[in-house]
Structure 1
Amino acid sequence: MRKYLTKNWKTLALVLGLFVLLPITIPLAQRAWKYLTGASYAPANITVDVSQTNGRVKRVWDGVAQGFEKLPDADFRLNQVASIVKPTGVRYVRIDHVFDGFDVISRGSDGRLAYNWTKLDNIIGDITAMGAKPFIALSYMPTAISKGDILDFPKNWGEWGQVVAATVSRYSRDYKGGIDGVIYEVWNEPDLFGGWKMGGSKNYVTLYATAANAANGVRGTKPFKIGGPATTGFYPAWVTGFYDKLDENVRIDFFSWHRYSSEVDFFVRDARTATEMMQTRIHKPQDLYITEWGINPERGAAYDGRWAAAHYLAVNRALMDSNIDLAFAFEIMDGAPADKGQFHGGWGMLTNPKYGAVAKKPRFKAWEMLAPISGDRLVLSGEGSYVTGVATRDANETIRVLLVNYDETGKHDEVVPYTMIGMLDGVYSVSETYLSGRVVNTSVTVVGGTYTRDISLNASDAVLLTMTRK
C-alpha cells in the first residue's frame, strides 16, 4: 500500500483536487451550458387574474443612495435634481461621508469638539425637498478625533460617541423640530474602508456598540432607527459577529449590506440567507436593507444604457418576494470627472448638472416606471427565465402590469403571450409605455372577462401597461 501511494501520489492528489473543486466547477459548467445551449430557458406566458389579490405591493425601491460626488469648486448638493426625483415617490435617500465631507466637526481652542451643521443641513434640506427622509451613514472618522486619517480609530472612544449623539440630536430632535424616522447606519463598507473586522484589534463591534449606545442615550428625539454594518457584500461571518458578539442590550434595528452583481439570483440568495441566519439570533423583528446595489461595482458604459435599467427592474421585481425592506440603488446623480463628458459611465441615474441640463439615463426612466406601482398586488403567473413581472390595482381601480426582459448577456428577445382574466366587461383605455421609449395608446373592449394579446419585448426592454375602465 505504501509503495502504491508513493508511486501514484500525483494522480491521487489530482483526483482529490478535482473532488474539492466540484462545488465550484459544477455551477460554472451549468452556467456555461445554459448560455451555450439555452437548455434551461423557459419562455414566459403571462396571465394576470384581476379578481385575485396577493397582499399589498412591497415598494422595496423607495430608497436610493447617493455617493459624495463633490466638485472641486462647490459644496456637494442635490438641490438641482430634487424636483426631478420627487415624482418617483422616494421615501429615503442615503448619504455617506457625512463627517469627512461636510466640515461638521472641529476642535475649538478650549479643546472641546465644535459643530458646524451648515453644509450637512443643506443636503438634508435637499433630501426633504424630494419628499424623502435622510438615511445617514455615520462615516467616516472625523479628523478632529481620529488617531490618524478618516479610516482610523478615534483617539478616544467617548468622543466617537459624542459625535454620533450630536448627529442624532441634530436631525432627530433639533433640525426643524426633528425629522421623524431618520435612519442611522454605522459606517460605510467597514471591511473595505478601514479594514474593520468582527473581532481583533480593529473591532467593528466596538465601533458599532459605542455609536448605538450613544444614539440611544439621546433624549427627546423623534423615532429613529440605527443599525449596520453596510459591508461590501453579504458575509455570513458578519451576521454571526454582529448578533453573537454584541451585548444583547445594544440596540440594533436593522442589518444591512451591499451587493453589486449582474446576476439577479445573487440578490435573492443574500436575502434568503440573511433571513435564515437571523431567525435563530434575534428576539425582535429586524429590518433588512441593501444600502447600495447595482449591476457592477465599477463605473462603466453599462450604467449609461438600457441593460442596467432592465437589471434594475428585474432585481426590484425579485426582491418584492423577499424579506428585504428597502434596496437602495446606487446612485441618484453622477459625478463629473474633469476629463469626461456628460455620459461617462457614472453610477448615477441622472447626469451631473455641471454639463448643463440634467439628463435622465435609462435607469432613472426605469425608476419612473416603478413609481405608480402601488396598491393591491394582483396574482400574476407564467413568468419565464428572462421575462418577469408584477401586476397591481390601485385605489382608483387602475390596473398596471410591469413586464421586464432581462438576461445577463443583454441579447434575448421574446414575444410574450399575455392574458388578463377576471375582468369586468366594458371599454378600457390601454397605455403601453416601453423602457425603450415607445408609447402606444389604444382602447379595447373586454367581453367575457378576458383580454389577450402578444407583447414583443426586445433585449433589455420593459413595458408598463396601464388599463382604466371607462
Structure 2
Amino acid sequence: MTKNKILGLFIFFFLTTTVFSITLLLKQTQFLGKFAEEKTTVAVYGIIPQGKINRIWPNFSQGGEEQKPMLEPASPLIQALQPRYVRIDHLFDFPNLDLRVNEIIKAGANPFLALSYFPPPISGDLTTFPSDLTGWQALVQKTIQQYSGKNQKNLLGVYYEVWNEPDLFGKMTPEQYFSLYRASVLAAENCQNCNSFKIGGPAITTLKKDWIETFLRRAGESKTRLDFISWHSYQLNPGKTLTEVNNLKNLASFKNHFADTELIISEWGSVPEMSELHDSYFDASHTIVAIEKLKDSLNKLFTFELVDGPSPEGKEFWGRWGLITNQIYGLTPKPRYYSFAYLNKLLELEIKPQEPLSGVTVIGSTDGKENYCFVLSREKEKPSNFEIGLKDPLPGIYQINSYFLGPSREPFIPESKTISVNNNLSTNIDLAANAVVLLEINRASPALVIAKGATDLPQDSSAKLTINTPPLIFLLNQPAVSQAEFSFLFKPNWNTLEKQKHIFLESKNPVGDGISAWYENSDSPKIISSFVNYGETVEQVVLPIEFLDRNTWHNLSFSFDNNLKQMKVVFNGKESITKTTSNIKLGDFILIGGSRRENNSVEGFIDNLSITTNQEILYQKNFD
C-alpha cells in the first residue's frame, strides 16, 4: 500500500471519528438542555406559622376618569375584592362629592380622600399655588367636618391625604408643600365633635429622597401632625419599590421623627403610562411578585385603579390601568382582578419555605387547623415544573384544589384531587410564564386525635398530643395584652426516665421574642415559664416539682399580669410567682403542646383548656 493511500485512510478515519464524537456531544448537550428546562423547582413548607400575614393589598385608588358615577355600576365586582379603603383625588373637581363618597361606601370600603385641587376662587386654576391659604383652610375644615363630623356623615377612620403629586401638579418645592400641608393640619384640628381620622402626605410621584427628607425634617422640627407618609410607585421591577421603602426608612428625618409612622403607597402599578401590560397576564403576575416582596415593609398599598375610563376609539381594552373595563363594554374583569381575588383567599397565618426560592414567587398560609392556602406566580423563562410540599403535616386524607389564572383557563373552576398522607405531603403544579395559581390544601380527616378525658364520664374526651402531630394553634387577635392566663389539665405519655425538655406552650413573634413554658425532666425536675425580649431571657419563673406521673392528670396554669408586674406558674395547687421588670408580650398566636422551631415534645393528653386575655375568656376547649 502506498504512503498516499495510508495517509488517506488515516484522514478518513480521523474525520469520521471526529464527526461521530461531535454528533454524540450535541445529542448529550440537547439532552442535558432538555433536562435543565424540565428540572422541577421544589419548595417545602413547615406547617408551623411564622406570624400573621400583613394584608397590605385590599386598598384601591380610582382616578377622576368621568364625572358620572363609575364605581356604583361595578359595585358587586368591587365588593367581591373586599376593599378596605378606596382613594379618590380630584376631590374638589366633582360637582357632587357626596355621590363619590357614597359609591365608595356602597362598595364596602372606607374613603381615603386626597384633598385636591384648588377650586375657584381659591386659585386662578387647579394647581397654581395661591397667595393666601385662608380659603383653602376653610375648605379643608369643611370637608373633614362633613365626613368625620358626628353630626354630619359620621364616618369612622377616614384618611385625608393633602394634595396629589405636588411635585408634578403645581410643581411645588418641599418647602412650599409643607406650608400647604401645615395649613391643612391646622384646619383639620379645628374640626368640632369629629370621629377619629388620619391626615398625612405628601403623595409625591415617586420616592424622591431629597424632597421627602426636607418635608419630613420641616414637619418633625415643627412637631406638625403627620399620621401617615405616602407616595406613589410605578415600577416594572417590584424590587425597586422595596428599595424606595428602605430608602425612606434610612432617612435621618424619618429615623428621628417618624420611625413608627404608618407607611402608605397610595398609587401603585407596573408602569405609570398607558400600556397593554395593564390588560395582560403580566400585570396579574407582577401583582403577586410585588405584594410578596412588599407585604412586610408597608402598612397599605393602593392599586391604581379599579375601573377604566371610556376609550375615545370605542375599545374595550385600551391599555388603561383599571382592574375592570368601563361599564360601556360590560365591566369585564381583567387578569389582574383575579390576582386580588386569589390573594383574598389566603388564610390568616403565614408559613414560609425551608429554603429561599428563585424564579417562583409563593405566599403560603394556614389557619392552624390543618388548612393551607398558597398563591403562586413565576417570572418568564424560568422552570415551569414546580412541586410544593408540607413537612410533617398531620397524617390523614387531604383535598387539594388548584385554580389557574391564564389563557383558556376558568379562574374559579378547580382541578381537584384527594390524597392520603402518612408523613410529608407534596403536589406538582405546571407554572406557565406569568401564570398565577391558587392552591388550597384541606385536611378532610378529623383534625384532632381524641382520647378518653379527665373524668370517667363516657362523653368526656381529651386531645392526644404526640411527637408526630403539630401543636394546637390559637389566634390572638388583640393589639395589646396586659394580662393572660393559660390553664389546662395534662396527663403525660412519655418515658419518665428521659432527661429532656417538654414544651407546654409558646407565643412568640417571628424573631423568637415572647413567652414559653415547659417541663424540664432532669435530676431536679421543674416547670419553667420564661419571657424572651430582643433575644435575651429577661423574665423567668421556676417551680420545682416531683416527677410527673404518666398515669395521672395534672392541673397546670401559666399566667402573667403587666399591671401587677408578675409571672406565675401553678401546678396542682402549688404556685411560684416572680416579680417582673418589663412588660410581657405575646405573638400573633399561641401554640399548645409545642413550639415553632422544635418537635412537639409534650407527648400526652390535654383537657379543659382555657385561654384568658385581659380578663376575658378567649378560648375554652374541653374536646368533647
Q: TM-score, normalised by structure 1?
A: 0.81
Say if 2:214 is the partner of 1:241. Answer: yes
Task: Indicate the structure whose relative CO is greater, using CA pairs within 8 Å and at least 6 residues apart.
Answer: 1
Secondary structure (helix, strand or coil) at the match of 1:466 reads: strand
- Structure 1: runs of 5+ lacking an equivalent: 1-41, 104-118
Secondary structure (helix, strand or coil) at the match of 1:131 reads: coil
Counterpart residue number, 1:152 = 128
Q: Distance in 2 between matches of 1:455 and 1:340?
A: 39
Superposition deviation, residue 82 in structure 1: 1.4
Contact 1:48 1:379 survives alignment (8 Å): yes
- Which amino acid counterpart does residue 237 of structure 2 have in structure 1? E
Larger radius of gyration: 2
Counterpart residue number, 2:65 = 69
Secondary structure (helix, strand or coil) at the match of 2:419 reads: strand
How does 1:190-229 map onto structure 2 within 5 Å?
190-199=166-175, 203-229=176-202
Identity of aligned residues (%): 31
Q: Of residues 95, 100, 120 in structure 2, which corresponds to 1:143?
A: 120
Counterpart residue number, 2:255 = 280
Contact 2:249 2:259 survives alignment (8 Å): no
Q: Distance in 1 between matches of 2:139 and 2:300?
A: 27
Q: Of residues 51, 55, 59 in structure 2, which corresponds to 1:59?
A: 55
CA deviations on 1:38-90 (whole Å, 9 max, x unpaired) are: xxxx985311111x2111010110211111110xxx52331011111112221
How does 1:252-291 map onto structure 2 within 5 Å?
252-277=226-251, 279-282=254-257, 285-291=260-266
- Structure 2: runs of 5+ lacking an equivalent: 1-38, 445-624
Superposition deviation, residue 144 in structure 1: 2.3
Q: Distance in 2 between matches of 1:193 and 1:279?
A: 25
Deviation larger for 175-184 or 152-161: 175-184
Secondary structure (helix, strand or coil) at the match of 1:54 reads: coil
Contact 1:230 1:258 survives alignment (8 Å): yes
Q: How many residues align?
A: 399
Flag the 1:397–1:422 CA change in 2: closer, same or farther, 3 A: same
Counterpart residue number, 2:515 = none
Q: Of residues 285, 288, 297 in structure 2, which corresponds to 1:310?
A: 285
Superposition deviation, residue 330 in structure 1: 0.6
Counterpart residue number, 1:296 = 271
Q: Distance in 1 between matches of 2:258 and 2:170?
A: 30
Q: Distance in 2 between matches of 1:260 and 1:288?
A: 16
CA deviations on 1:211-263 (whole Å, 9 max, x unpaired) are: 11111221211111111011110111122112212353311011111111110
- Which amino acid counterpart does residue 62 of structure 1 have in structure 2? P
Q: Of residues 346, 356, 359 in structure 1, which corresponds to 2:320?
A: 346
Q: Of residues 394, 403, 419 in structure 1, which corresponds to 2:389?
A: 419
Q: Distance in 2 between matches of 1:43 and 1:254?
A: 44
Counterpart residue number, 2:90 = 97
Secondary structure (helix, strand or coil) at the match of 2:429 reads: strand
Counterpart residue number, 1:462 = 436
- Which amino acid counterpart does residue 198 of structure 1 have in structure 2? P
Q: Distance in 1 between matches of 2:383 and 2:320?
A: 27
- Which amino acid counterpart does residue 397 of structure 2 have in structure 1? V
Secondary structure (helix, strand or coil) at the match of 1:154 reads: coil
Superposition deviation, residue 145 in structure 1: 1.2
Secondary structure (helix, strand or coil) at the match of 2:68 reads: coil
Contact 2:365 2:373 survives alignment (8 Å): yes
Q: Distance in 2 between matches of 1:336 and 1:396?
A: 46
Q: Which structure shows the higher strand fraction?
A: 2
Secondary structure (helix, strand or coil) at the match of 1:312 reads: helix
Q: Of residues 274, 282, 303 in structure 2, which corresponds to 1:329?
A: 303
Counterpart residue number, 1:186 = 162
Q: Distance in 2 between matches of 1:397 and 1:380?
A: 17
Secondary structure (helix, strand or coil) at the match of 2:127 reads: coil
- Which amino acid counterpart does residue 170 of structure 2 have in structure 1? G
Counterpart residue number, 1:38 = none
Flag the 1:396–1:166 CA change in 2: closer, same or farther, 3 A: farther
